[in-house]
Amino acid sequence: MEDIKVQQIEILETGIEYVKKLVPAVKEILPELRGEEKEDTQEYLNQIIEGINFVIEIVNATMSLINEKEEILNKDGIEEKVQLLNAGLQARDNIKTAMALEEGMLPFLDIFYQVASVIVERENA
């Protein structure tokens, strides 16, 4: 059991470093999705979506540790945010996509970052 916890801490450390890069990218693409589209906006968006999926995989792999003391993140809440993002993407509606990123994904990434940082700090103390 302890080996799993060590692996989860390592995964969280990876997630923390990844989110540090992903959040600025999400913030950078919002104006592009709201009308200042550039030549590479869609390609950049695809990379951001892959990044969000990677973080969700990290959350899924570490959910038992994240929610060890109390439920902080839950699959239903994450799924709801993902569905809003998917709706915008499938409709090719950049405004809806931007809204889903800003109102759903950024807060999710922020909560993950904060919780993961506390857990890693606590476990490495």
- By the 10 Å C-beta count (0-12 exposed, 13-18 middle, 19+ buried), 11 is classed as middle
Q: Yes or no: say if 89 and 97 are a contact pair by the CB < 8 Å rule.
A: yes
Q: For 34-74, where are the alpha helices, taking DSSP H only?
A: 41-66
Per-residue pLDDT of the chain in tens (125 residues, 90 and over written 9): 578 999 999 999 999 999 999 999 999 999 999 998 899 999 999 999 999 999 999 999 999 999 988 899 999 999 999 999 999 999 999 999 999 999 999 999 999 999 999 999 998 88
pTM of this structure: 0.92
Q: Which helix (H) or strand (E) holds 95?
A: helix 94-100
